[in-house]
Amino acid sequence: MKTLSYILLCLAALCSGRLSAAQINDLYLADVPAVATTSEWQQEAFRQVLSKVTGQPDIDKQPQIAEELRRAAGYIKQFEAVRSADGNRMRVLLDASKVNKLLQQHNIAVWGALRPDILLWLVQQQGSQRQFVRQSEHPLKLALQQTFSQSALPLMLPLYDIDDLLNLSETDVWAGFWQPINQASARYNADVVVVATVEQMQLDGLTTHRLSWQRQDDNRVLRDELTADSEERLMQAFAGKLAQQLAGRYATVLSQTQSQFVLQVNGLSDFAAIVQVQKLLQQLVGVSDVTINAFEPGVARYLLSGAIDSTGLLNALRFNPQLRLQAASEQLQLDMSAQPVLATLEFIKP
């Protein structure tokens, strides 16, 4: 078989270290109360899905989206009534292709199902006392887990075992001392590390909850602060703000035109692995078709077509735990008659 030459354009930032992404399996699924009218629960389901897919909690406030809410029924693929501890509810599945097409038409970025794992160190401050939020039934922890799930954010919580407590103190988190924070976080292999402190205050006779948080991004420390009148609303605002920030970096605006790219994948032991990689690539947001372009023992090349540019494609690949981007190790001889390869990846067996 004729060997195809290629140009390797992997970005260094995308190739540094093994990432541990999570797959969001219910990105286009909504869970809404069944007590509302049909039109109301359909619109609420549409809002939920649009918020998860874009990472924008207020996406429905945009005029073009607010107008489309009245046609929410046209995006619903299936639904079912379920009973829960919270009463009767509706589980509603939306048509992913229709939702993505709507966002594409309005140049709104789409955030795919592969998302970075987020490790959160959470401290509660009461007066001069600081404590990690460790108990499984702690109200802050329960609110955190619920709101991160609603925002489709993969949440990792520390074990707070002896290893963690020897390496990191509550004061380290409160003060943002990143050397011990990074040291304690290394064992979790998270993609994003966030440290946060929650405290309760009295302002004008009213109880206010404040959350101060920070994370590192490209060797910068990003800080933010939120307040709310309840722990639940505080965590909801926190999850929404973090989702918006991360989507701004990782979501992709789908192109109005189709592009083609070639990817080379190494580490394929058999034909079943070749087919498995093809299926993984077909799951990438914006990719409409994947064909096996060429293969030989251990290596295959795939031709991808879709409404996505090279930067968006590489960004989507960054958080696929089974496809690790590799940097070029040597200068390659180019055959300009062959379509260049965008990137080389290594297949990691699950």
Verify that 222 and 258 share a domain, yes or no.
Answer: no
Sheet holding 287-296, edge to edge: 287-296, 298-306, 259-268, 341-347, 323-326
Average pLDDT over residues 251-268: 92
Verify that 133 and 237 share a domain, yes or no.
Answer: yes
User: Is 1 a domain residue?
Assistant: no
Verify that 124 and 94 share a domain, yes or no.
Answer: no
User: Is 299 a domain residue?
Assistant: yes
* Domain boundary pick from 79, 105, 131: 105
pLDDT at site 330 = 36
Residue type, 317: L
User: Is 2 a domain residue?
Assistant: no
Verify that 99 and 203 share a domain, yes or no.
Answer: no
Of the pLDDT bands very low, low, confident and very high (cuts 50, 70, 90), residue 114 is confident
Verify that 243 and 274 share a domain, yes or no.
Answer: no
Q: Which helix (H) or strand (E) holds 38?
A: helix 38-54
Average model confidence (pLDDT) across the chain: 88
Q: Residue 321 belongs to a domain with what CATH number?
A: 3.30.70.100
Of the pLDDT bands very low, low, confident and very high (cuts 50, 70, 90), residue 218 is confident
pLDDT at site 333 = 37
Residue type, 97: S
Verify that 171 and 226 share a domain, yes or no.
Answer: yes
**Would you say residue 127 has pLDDT above 70?**
yes
**Would you say residue 36 has pLDDT above 80?**
no
Verify that 238 and 119 share a domain, yes or no.
Answer: yes
The label of the residue with tokens 């270290």 reads: 17
Verify that 64 and 133 share a domain, yes or no.
Answer: no
Higher per-residue pLDDT: 334 or 292: 292
Average pLDDT over residues 54-77: 95
Q: How far is CA 165 from CA 65, 71, 126, 161, 213, in A?
A: 47, 52, 19, 6, 20
Tokens coding 177: 């001392």
| Nearest CA among 263, 268, 224, 269 for reference residue 243 | 224
User: Is 65 a domain residue?
Assistant: yes
Range of weakest confidence among 163-172, 174-183, 304-313:
304-313
Distance CA 171, CA 168 (A): 8
| Nearest CA among 235, 237, 238, 234 for reference residue 208 | 234
Q: Which residues on adjacent β-strands are paired with residue 182? A: none
pLDDT at site 125 = 95
Please state, for a pLDDT cut of 70, what percent of the chain lies above it. Answer: 91
Residue 172, helix vs strand vs coil: helix
**Would you say residue 276 has pLDDT above 70?**
yes
User: Is 301 a domain residue?
Assistant: yes
**Would you say residue 306 has pLDDT above 60?**
yes
Higher per-residue pLDDT: 222 or 87: 222
Verify that 240 and 261 share a domain, yes or no.
Answer: no
**Would you say residue 18 has pLDDT above 60?**
no
Average pLDDT over residues 205-234: 94
Distance CA 226, CA 228 (A): 7
Distance of CA 190 to the CA centre of its chain: 12
* Domain boundary pick from 213, 235, 250: 250
Number of domains observed in the structure of the chain = 3
Tokens coding 90: 């509706």
Average pLDDT over residues 208-220: 94
Of the pLDDT bands very low, low, confident and very high (cuts 50, 70, 90), residue 339 is confident
Verify that 93 and 154 share a domain, yes or no.
Answer: no
- Tens of pLDDT, residue by residue over 224-246, are 999 999 999 999 999 999 999 99
User: Is 168 a domain residue?
Assistant: yes
**Would you say residue 155 has pLDDT above 90?**
yes
**Would you say residue 144 has pLDDT above 90?**
yes
Q: Residue 146 belongs to a domain with what CATH number?
A: 3.40.50
Of the pLDDT bands very low, low, confident and very high (cuts 50, 70, 90), residue 338 is low
pLDDT at site 317 = 85
Domain range spanning residue 53? 25-105
**Would you say residue 17 has pLDDT above 70?**
no
pLDDT at site 4 = 29
Read off the pTM: 0.84
Verify that 222 and 330 share a domain, yes or no.
Answer: no
**Would you say residue 203 has pLDDT above 80?**
no
Verify that 209 and 262 share a domain, yes or no.
Answer: no
**Would you say residue 321 has pLDDT above 90?**
no
User: Is 182 a domain residue?
Assistant: yes
User: Is 37 a domain residue?
Assistant: yes
pLDDT at site 35 = 77
* Domain boundary pick from 250, 278, 311: 250
Average pLDDT over residues 19-43: 85
